[in-house]
Amino acid sequence: MKRELTRYMRPAKIVALGTAILSLAGCVKRDLEMRPDEGYVEIALDWTKTGMTSRSARYLFYNEAGMLVREVSGITDCFKGTLPTGTYHLVVHNTDASQVDWQGCEKYESAEVFAQPTQYSADHHPADGVPCILEPRDVFAVGSCNESETVKVRQMDTTRLSVTPTELTKQVAIRFTVETDGGQSVRALHGVLA
């Protein structure tokens, strides 16, 4: 006696069997791809110790030779990004200071803030040839992180630091004491503060 046996496979089993065969055929042995020579950096901006509310700041990253590598503006709370591995110097300053500008920022050693000259106004009557500047205000900056002098970026690692800018402007009070002999009156008082 001969028997003929015919069986049919359900479509779900065919799909499962096909998926298993394709997944095994798709596996190949390869070398692991490495990330570029970079690390991740998070540098929090802490305004609480200054007594000021959050301000927009500019981060300037310099390599060990002191050359500007990266500049990021508009940070209000934390810089998050990648940098090539290495050691960096950092300068952070607010971007909303009054009557000042920055120059020499292409090198760490020459970065400086300076008071801008202003036009003479009805309130200011300087003598001829004497430059006039208005009072610089709200100038905050820092040249290092709270935790270390430099930022060390390691490959495939996250560096977390914080910065607290300090106020660079100070208040100066000038008092003139004028003494006269007898009944003479004072007609003029001139002075220059360099």
Residue 5 is classified by DSSP as -
pLDDT tens sequence across 1-48: 566 665 665 666 666 666 766 666 655 665 544 467 889 999 999 988
Entry field: residues in the chain = 194
Q: Work out the mean pLDDT of the chain and round it to a whole number.
A: 81
The residue type found at 166 is T
pLDDT-derived band at 131, boundaries 50, 70, 90: low
> Which pTM does this prediction carry?
0.68
Measuring CA to CA, which residue among 185, 96, 88 is closest to residue 145? 88
Share of the chain above pLDDT 70, in %: 71
Alpha helices in the chain (DSSP H): 11-25
The residue type found at 97 is A
pLDDT tens sequence across 42-55: 999 998 887 777 78
Interatomic CA distance for residues 3 and 74, integer angstroms: 83
